[in-house]
Amino acid sequence: MPTKDEIADKIKNSLMDALGVDDDEVVPEATLSGDLGAESIDFLDIVFRLEKAFDIKIPRGELFPENLLTDANFVADGKFTDSGMNELRERMPFADLEEFAENPEVSKFGDLFTVQMISNYIESKVDVED
């Protein structure tokens, strides 16, 4: 059973391999796109490396939800609607949505995807040693 530190190390290695970033860039608050430069295909790569590192299956769209931004029920005038925020809470319980909910602009959506968010997700998928 891995400890939180071991999980953090594996996530760090996965992100370093997938994104070609340095050890000291992969800090919990780093955003995948903004700080670490991840682009669309990188998310596929990250998912694969996490699956391999932790020997888990990550269903498509579970860690990085799809089709949210194109649904008019969820997004209007460049912001998530109440129904959109409920959907986010439902689908991304591992993301820190509190601050985002205060001003849920679509343009800030990418900032939810942080190293910490991946840690939260992985810790919800594997047994963690206290």
Partner 1 sequence: MRWIWIDKITEFESGRRAKAIKNVSLAEDHLHDHFAGNPVMPNSLIVEGLAQTGGVLVGEYGGFAAGVVLAKLPRAEFYFPAVPGDTLHYTAEVEYIKNDGAMVNGTSYIGGRLQAEMEIIFAQIHDHGAATSLLKPESLAYTMKLLGVFDVDRIVDGRFVLADS
Q: Please report, as ranges, the residues that interact with partner 1 according to CB under 8 A.
A: 17-18, 20, 41-42, 44-45, 48, 60
Evaluate the CA torsion angle 92, 57, 111, 40 in order and state its sign: negative
Q: Quickly tell me which residue has 């047994």 as its tokens.
A: 127
Instruction: Supply the minimum distance, in Å, between the C-beta of residue 127 and partner 1.
Output: 25
Structure tokens at 47: 């998912």
If the CB atoms of residues 4 and 60 are measured against partner 1, the closer one turns out to be: 60
If the CB atoms of residues 52 and 89 are measured against partner 1, the closer one turns out to be: 52
If the CB atoms of residues 33 and 81 are measured against partner 1, the closer one turns out to be: 33
Instruction: Give ∠ CA 3-121-18 in degrees, rounded to 5.
Output: 90
How far is CA 127 from each of CA 7, 9, 15, 123, 124, rounded to the nearest angstrom?
10, 16, 21, 7, 8
Instruction: Supply the minimum distance, in Å, between the C-beta of residue 5 and partner 1.
Output: 25
Phi, psi of 3 (to 5 degrees): -85, 170
Instruction: Supply the minimum distance, in Å, between the C-beta of residue 82 and partner 1.
Output: 31
If the CB atoms of residues 69 and 76 are measured against partner 1, the closer one turns out to be: 69
Instruction: Supply the minimum distance, in Å, between the C-beta of residue 43 and partner 1.
Output: 10
